[in-house]
Structure 1
Amino acid sequence: MKRITYTFIACLLIGLSSCLEITEQVHMRSNGSGQFTFTVDMQEAKPLLDMARNFSSEANPEAVKSDLSTGMDEAHGRLQKIKGIHQPTLIKSKDGLLSGITFEFDNVAALNKAINAVQNSKGEPQEEYFAWNGQQLHRLNTLKLENEVKKGTDSGLAGLDLSVNGKSFREILNSMVYRTEYRFDTPIKGVSNSNATLSADKRKVTLERYLLDDSKKAGTLENVIRF
């Protein structure tokens, strides 16, 4: 998690937040099993990554890509030890600007353990991300990444006298988005979060959370999806 968080902070420092896509995807089957995918996509930010070489040695684009890749590699190793998790697979583009991990899970208990393994490399207490009772999927407002990013900004990053493309550093931080996309085999009857968007066939729900700006829409990831 430390490596992945460093990468996000480095991206923010070189003004990539508007080009950085962080996505959590779940395909949930009716028996409670499914597939989970987590990706970080920096492909639209390539011009800014190239410019970053002259900004800071710590924000070197090659170091950013390498650090993210290493973080995913370490998470992949931890996933292979979790009961109920199958086929953990790394996602990497040739240019290193897209990185992620995907796996199959037997049930939500295994899914929660796996997400903790991806986002927590220090053996900290386990957190619950999802609950499932067969008739609804409950996504709790748990996001380890958000706490890590906030911790980084509280340590002094937010006070930097820096602007990128006319935006202050605080504005850059406040525009960082975490997107969730959940797909189901049966139509969705309803959702509890009014900011969630349903697809036309009512089998997919999307929600975006601004990590550091609670004044914007979707101040919480919590969502109860009913069938």
Structure 2
Amino acid sequence: MKLVARLFLLSCLVSLSGCFEIVEQVFLKTDGSGDFQLVLNLSKSKTRLNSIMKMKTINGHDVPSKEEIKSRLTDIEKTVAKTPGISNVKTSVDFDNFIASISCNFKNVGRLNDAVKGIYTKENAGKKAPDKFYDYNTGVFERINKYAFKEDYKKLSNADKEIFATANYTAVFKFESTVSAASNKETKIAPSKKAVMLKLNALDVIHEKKSIENKINLTN
């Protein structure tokens, strides 16, 4: 969660809003290429955030200007665009609804891992990035998570901790192939068998009661 918040320079807005959702979307073709999108949605708190954006600080947090947020998104876009095998990189931010996103096309899952690692390294100086966030091999697509959120959560103030009670993480994975099974028991498989969705409460993920990890078995 911390990485995504940093990613969009909205960490203070996230910590001051009452509700937010992280939506991760991947469309995987049979040849291993595909599309990726990550969305940070704070629209349910837009009334409060509109007021916060007019302030310089609140509860000890500096409030970034719209220009600062746009500039940071541009920096992230440039970082991702430099990754070999990554194309059509786009970032956007909607200040009417407080929704920020980054999207791209990837040549293969390995290149997508490189792009995510590039952002991780840039935003977490001195920390080694996990080798893989995704894997695709012999009809199996896997979402991997080696990052522990619990220690970062403990360092937050009580006020900041409260907002995670209503925060959600949603993963939507779509495929050209047919889904035959998913390892995470919270997964919902679409009637078409071409997509899966995993929606979890952020606190359950932070306290490791539930996991974002998932292994999707595919058949042609």
The bucket for the TM-score relative to the shorter chain is 0.7 to 0.9
Give, in angstroms, the shift of residue 124 of structure 1: 3.7
Aligned to 1:221: 212
The match for 1:165 is none
Q: How far apart are the structure 2 equivalents of 1:187 and 1:100?
A: 28
Match of 1:78 in 2: 79
TM-score, L = length of structure 1: 0.78
Match of 1:132 among 128, 133, 136: 136
Secondary structure in structure 2 of the residue aligned to 1:188 = strand
Identify unmatched segments of 5+ residues in structure 1.
163-168
Report the Cα offset of residue 41 of structure 1: 1.7
Size of the aligned set, in residue pairs, is 210
* Counterpart residue number, 1:187: 178
User: Residue type matched to 1:192 in 2?
Assistant: S
Change (3 A) 1:218 1:182: farther
The CA distance in 2 between the partners of 1:106 and 1:89, in whole Å, is: 16
The RMSD of aligned alpha carbons is: 3.0
Give the 5 Å matches for 1:164-203: 170-203=161-194
Q: CA deviation at 1:91?
A: 2.3
Q: Is the 8 A contact 1:32 1:134 kept in 2?
A: no
Question: Identity over the aligned pairs, expressed in percent?
Answer: 20
State the Cα deviation string for residues 62-104 of structure 1 (Å, max 9, x = none).
x275554333222111112111111111123363722111111
Work out the CA distance in 2 between the residues paired with 1:57 and 1:216.
Answer: 25
Pairwise CA distance, 1:26: 0.2
Alignment partners' CA distance in 1, 2:142 and 2:17: 34
Deviation at 1:211, TM superposition (A): 3.0
Task: Write out aligned runs for 1:100-139 (5 A).
Answer: 100-121=101-122, 122=125, 124-127=127-130, 128-139=132-143
Asked if the contact 1:141/1:221 (under 8 Å) is kept, the reply is: yes
Aligned residue identity for 2:129: Q
1:156 to partner: Cα distance: 4.3
CA distance in 1, matches of 2:59, 2:67: 14
- CA-CA distance at 1:216 after TM superposition: 8.6
2:92 is matched with: 91
Matches of 2:179 and 2:24, distance apart in 1: 19
In structure 1, C-alpha distance between the alignment counterparts of 2:205 and 2:108, rounded to whole Å:
31
Q: Which runs of 5+ in 2 are unaligned?
A: none
CA distance in 1, matches of 2:190, 2:98: 28
- Using a 3 Å threshold, how does the CA distance of structure 1 residues 172 and 209 change in structure 2: closer, same or farther? same
Match of 1:209 among 200, 207, 220: 200
Aligned-partner Cα distance in 1 for 2:95–2:156: 34
Name the aligned partner's letter for residue 93 of structure 1.
D
Change in Cα spacing, 1:108 to 1:190, as seen in structure 2 (3 Å) is: same
